[in-house]
Amino acid sequence: MKFKKLASLTLVGGLFAGSAPAMADDLTLCWAAWDPANALVELSKDFESQSGHSMSFEFIPWPNFADRMLNELNSGGKLCDLLIGDSQWIGGGAESEHYVKLNDFFDKEGISMDDFAEATVYAYSTWPKGTPNYYALPAMGDANGWFYRKDWFAKPELQEAFKAEYGRDLAEPKTQRELLDLAKFFQGKEIDGNKVYGAAIFTERGSEGITMGATGALYTWGFKYENTPGKYDMEGAVNSPEAVEALEFYKELYKCCTPPGYTDSYMGESLDAFKSGQVAMAMNWFAFFPGLYADPDTGGDKIDFFVNPPQNQAGSTLGGQGISVISYSEKQEAALEYIKWFAQPDIQAQWWSLGGYSAHNSVLNDPGFVDSQPFAGDFLEAMNDVQDFWQEPAYAELLVSMQKRLHDYIVADKGTAKEALDLLIEDWTEVFEDEGKL
């Protein structure tokens, strides 16, 4: 009798379970704490209302983002169901199986990677690089660009002085050398009663700052990580005469034209220097440009933007991230639902309008895109020529070595550019030998 009761209860329960809607989950999305993250919170409200799931967010300040998140992944943590992780993590995320492979899901849901900008798919989604194995959906296109005080550039007395000194108009630089001229011109000038400086550039030692800044120069001189892609043959590529020249250039820019005490500066310091009216030009990620343009004191008519100027060739340091589902998450189904929702063209259009940088072709190829924001055209141009740091599983080791060698040379005046790059090759060779790739 008891068995019969139990069996009938189980049957009824089973029937109810079968007909009930999928259970609502509370998803946690992890990302860096910056302006686009706030835009994503706003955007995600639509997902919450559509799906019934609720969203929580874990935003980590940039200087600690990599440490915090990589520790989380390496320990198999379940804090994040979704992670918008840096492009360089894709190799480690895929090989250590932190990220869920998304190919089957994309096929099932009809999500095509052809709908996203090729450079972003290559950089944010694929591992091994360029193969059709996807571990993330391009979420936030980004590159390192420049912004400047348009109102200072427009001052007749400065225009006159610049023309007299350099024989050309005071305008956005066409090359890296012109950028240096501009920085030198503004360094120490008195404008509106304040002493101002040439440029705010990245010199930070602790995470990735100086590497992200200096590669902006290196790529435009033609720097390559390897002679033959995939062979790890770095001699002659990493320390090529062009790379040496580019590194010397970046050091000159740092020495001549940055504000005092600018020895350990990254995104925050660059924004502060510009917003406080200290510098004529500053480098930073495009992600910050909407906020800069909206700034009541230094935005609007006072600011304009330009893509990282070419030298021997065009080149910009890649930023940006893809969104991945964490393999340790117990809510993978709901997390995939979020990705499906996020990949929709209308959501991507909203993402751009809120301040996020969509990588969806329907947004980027829209005829109105270039004029939609004053920096939109520069963003498109930059994304055509982006280059990224190593995306190897051992990327953290490779990055720490580059940070050290560059900071030693640029900020601490240790050795020559050639010596710094030679030592970098030694460090990287050791890493690849340990990895069994050399």
Partner 1 sequence: MSFNPVEQAAKQTPPAIARRVRGLSDKAIAWLFVGPTIFLLLAINIFPLIWTIYLSFTNFKANRPNREIKYVGLRNYERILNDADVWLSMQATAHFLIWTIVLQVIIGFALAWLINRKFKGNDMWTTIIVLPMMLSPAVVGNFWTFFYQPQIGIFNYVIGFLTGKDPSSFEMLGSVDLAPWSIVIVDTWMWTPFVMLICLAGLRSIPDYIYEAAEVDRASRWRQFWTITVPMVLPFLMLAVLFRGIENFKMFDLVVQLTGGGPGSTTELASINLKREAFEKWRTGYSSAFAIILFVTVFGLASIYVKALNKVKER
- Half-sphere exposure (CA, 13 Å, Cβ side) for 296? 0
Task: Please state the three-class secondary structure of the chain as a single string.
Answer: CHHHHHHHHHHHHHHHHHHCCCCCCEEEEEEECCHHHHHHHHHHHHHHHHHCCEEEEEEECHHHHHHHHHHHHHCCCCCCCEEEEEHHHHHHHHHCCCECCCHHHHHHHCCCHHHECHHHHHHHCECCCCCCCECCEEEECCEEEEEEEHHHHCCHHHHHHHHHHHCCCCCCCCCHHHHHHHHHHHCCCEECCEECEEEECCCCCCCCHHHHHHHHHHHHHCCCCCCCCCCCCCCCCCCCHHHHHHHHHHHHHHHHHCCCCCCCCCHHHHHHHHHCCCEEEEEEEHHHHHHHHHCCCCCHHHEEEEECCCCCCCCEEECCEEEEEECCCCCHHHHHHHHHHHCCHHHHHHHHHHCCCCCEHHHHCCCCHHHHCCCHHHHHHHHHCEECCCCCCCHHHHHHHHHHHHHHHHCCCCCCHHHHHHHHHHHHHHHHHHCCCC
Which segment (155-163, 341-349, 367-375, 392-400) binds partner 1 by CB under 8 A?
Answer: 392-400
Which segment (2-10, 28-36, 253-261, 304-312) binds partner 1 by CB under 8 A?
Answer: 253-261
How do beta strands 54-60 and 26-32 pair? parallel
Which segment (12-20, 174-182, 347-355, 394-402) binds partner 1 by CB under 8 A?
Answer: 394-402
| Number of residues that this document lists for the chain | 438
Interface with partner 1, residue 183, by CB under 8 A: no
Alpha-carbon gap, residue 193 to 208, rounded angstroms: 35
Interface with partner 1, residue 416, by CB under 8 A: no
Interface with partner 1, residue 414, by CB under 8 A: yes
Interface with partner 1, residue 237, by CB under 8 A: no
Which segment (161-169, 173-181, 282-290, 408-416) binds partner 1 by CB under 8 A?
Answer: 408-416
Lay out the site mask for partner 1 across 107-126 (x = CB under 8 A, - = otherwise).
--------------------
Q: In the set 259, 299, 319, 320, which binds partner 1 (CB under 8 A)? A: 259
Interface with partner 1, residue 261, by CB under 8 A: yes
Closest distance between partner 1 and the C-beta of residue 397, in Å?
A: 4
Interface with partner 1, residue 260, by CB under 8 A: yes
Closest distance between partner 1 and the C-beta of residue 327, in Å?
A: 12
Q: In the set 91, 92, 141, 198, which binds partner 1 (CB under 8 A)? A: 92
Interface with partner 1, residue 326, by CB under 8 A: no
Which segment (4-12, 100-108, 298-306, 396-404) binds partner 1 by CB under 8 A?
Answer: 396-404
User: Which residues, other chains included, contact 338 with Cβ-Cβ below 8 Å and sequence gap of 6+?
Assistant: 27, 29, 44, 47, 51, 53, 55, 82
Interface with partner 1, residue 337, by CB under 8 A: no
Closest distance between partner 1 and the C-beta of residue 285, in Å?
A: 21
Interface with partner 1, residue 409, by CB under 8 A: yes
Interface with partner 1, residue 404, by CB under 8 A: yes
Interface with partner 1, residue 263, by CB under 8 A: yes
Lay out the site mask for partner 1 across 21-60 (x = CB under 8 A, - = otherwise).
----------------------------------------
How do beta strands 197-200 and 194-195 pair? unpaired
- Which residues, 63 to 82, sit near partner 1 by CB under 8 A? 67, 70-71, 74
Which segment (109-117, 148-156, 303-311, 399-407) binds partner 1 by CB under 8 A?
Answer: 399-407
Interface with partner 1, residue 97, by CB under 8 A: yes
Interface with partner 1, residue 286, by CB under 8 A: no
Q: How far out from the chain centre does Cα 31 lie?
A: 12
Nearer to partner 1, 80 or 143 (CB): 80
Interface with partner 1, residue 400, by CB under 8 A: yes
Which segment (240-248, 295-303, 337-345, 404-412) binds partner 1 by CB under 8 A?
Answer: 404-412
Lay out the site mask for partner 1 across 202-221 (x = CB under 8 A, - = otherwise).
---xx---------------
- Half-sphere exposure (CA, 13 Å, Cβ side) for 290? 18
Q: Identify whether the C-beta of residue 205 lies closer than 8 Å to the C-beta of residue 403.
A: yes
Interface with partner 1, residue 393, by CB under 8 A: yes
Q: Identify whether the C-beta of residue 218 lies closer than 8 Å to the C-beta of residue 230.
A: no
Nearer to partner 1, 75 or 372 (CB): 75
Interface with partner 1, residue 262, by CB under 8 A: yes
Nearer to partner 1, 367 or 436 (CB): 436
Interface residues with partner 1 (CB under 8 A) are: 67, 70-71, 74, 92, 96-97, 205-206, 259-264, 393, 396-397, 400-401, 404, 407-409, 411-414, 434
